[in-house]
């Protein structure tokens, strides 16, 4: 399955069935991984309800920065035509694993994951139920949901994963190590070498223009179900060449550089 990208929607409102003091549900819509929503805990499940403000297509939702998430947790995804979920209710997933895969990213914070392969009717109201909690507290830094941008041709070999080190290490005039430890951010670099013209015009260029280097995007390099899928989910800012280049008559090239916004904690 080809990689996909997504520009997260900006919901009109979001609520949760419970929230810990100082960790309200609206914190799931900011782009700061250190400011998170937390449930009150003590329940078997928790519900997150989203109002998009208008009917919009959604075929993916990811929960980033899920500290303490368990492989036992499950996820239910529903949409409806009213806020009380009494009319037009559609269940799109029920009892699926909450986490994208078994192995966690380096920063240790889980990634909740849902995607739909079938066509999804545009809806205004969405509800996500995280269950099998065994009274555990749920923590989410960012909920990103929207419509996937999946190209007909996948990225080429030569893609890379790295790290942006926010600290420094040098030596004093006496040869003593001078080190400033700081957080690190995962980085991603992939190239789609042969993008169709209509994909550039209708999908890629609009995403680049909307996000530029200021708004975060989601990139999933390998969306196939598997133990490593959490590590293949990225949420961050684009950098480098923010555009496409026509390389040959058969296709355009799109180079993607991304800095993930969920930091790897600095060493003690």
Residue 175: what pLDDT?
96
Please tell me the distance from the alpha carbon of residue 33 to that of residue 27, in angstroms, as a whole number. Answer: 10
The per-residue pLDDT for range 195-224, each reduced to its tens digit, is 999 999 999 999 999 999 999 999 999 999
- Asked if residues 17 and 47 have their Cβ atoms less than 8 Å apart, the reply is yes
Residue 198: what pLDDT?
93
Taking 50 as the pLDDT cut, the residues of the chain under it are none
Residue 107: what pLDDT?
93
Residue 158: what pLDDT?
66
Q: Where are the beta strands (DSSP E) in the chain?
A: 4-6, 13-16, 37-38, 45-56, 60-66, 74-80, 90-97, 110-115, 123-131, 139-140, 142-146, 149-150, 160-165, 168-171, 177-180, 184-195, 217-220, 233-239, 244-248, 251-260
Question: How is residue 183 written in tokens?
Answer: 């957080």
DSSP H or E run through 209:
helix 205-211
Alpha-carbon torsion (19, 20, 24, 28), positive or negative: negative
Q: Could you report how far apart the first and last alpha carbons of the chain are, in Å?
A: 40
Please tell me the distance from the alpha carbon of residue 144 to that of residue 65, in angstroms, as a whole number. Answer: 11
- Asked if residues 147 and 60 have their Cβ atoms less than 8 Å apart, the reply is yes
Residue 268: what pLDDT?
65
Domains of the chain: 4-150 (2.60.120.260), 160-260 (no CATH)
Indicate the pTM of the whole model: 0.93
Pick the closest to residue 145 from 49, 58, 67 (CA basis): 58
Please tell me the distance from the alpha carbon of residue 86 to that of residue 159, in angstroms, as a whole number. Answer: 46
Residue 146: what pLDDT?
97
Please tell me the distance from the alpha carbon of residue 66 to that of residue 262, in angstroms, as a whole number. Answer: 10
């Amino acid at each position: 399955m080809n990689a996909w990208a997504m520009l997260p929607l900006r919901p009109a409102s979001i609520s949760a069935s419970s929230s810990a003091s100082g960790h309200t549900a609206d914190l799931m819509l900011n782009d700061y991984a250190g400011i998170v929503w937390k449930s009150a805990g003590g329940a078997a499940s928790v519900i997150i309800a989203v109002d998009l403000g208008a009917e919009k297509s959604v075929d993916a939702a990811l929960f980033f920065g899920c500290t303490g998430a368990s492989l036992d947790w499950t996820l239910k995804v529903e949409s409806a035509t009213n806020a009380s979920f009494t009319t037009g209710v559609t269940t799109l997933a029920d009892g699926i694993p909450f986490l994208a895969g078994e192995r966690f990213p380096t920063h240790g914070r889980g990634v909740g994951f849902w995607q739909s392969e079938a066509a999804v009717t545009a809806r205004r109201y969405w509800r996500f139920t995280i269950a099998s909690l065994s009274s555990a507290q749920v923590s989410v830094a960012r909920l990103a949901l929207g419509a996937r941008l999946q190209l007909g041709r996948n990225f080429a070999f030569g893609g890379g994963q790295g790290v942006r080190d926010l600290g420094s290490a040098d030596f004093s005039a006496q040869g003593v190590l001078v080190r400033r430890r700081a957080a690190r951010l995962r980085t991603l670099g992939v190239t789609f070498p042969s993008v169709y013209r209509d994909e550039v015009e209708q999908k890629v260029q609009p995403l680049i223009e909307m996000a530029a280097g200021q708004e975060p995007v989601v990139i999933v390099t390998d969306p196939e179900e598997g133990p490593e899928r959490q590590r293949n989910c990225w949420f961050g800012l684009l950098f480098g060449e923010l555009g496409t280049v026509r390389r040959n008559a058969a296709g355009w090239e799109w180079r993607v550089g991304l800095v993930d916004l969920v930091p790897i904690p600095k060493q003690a």
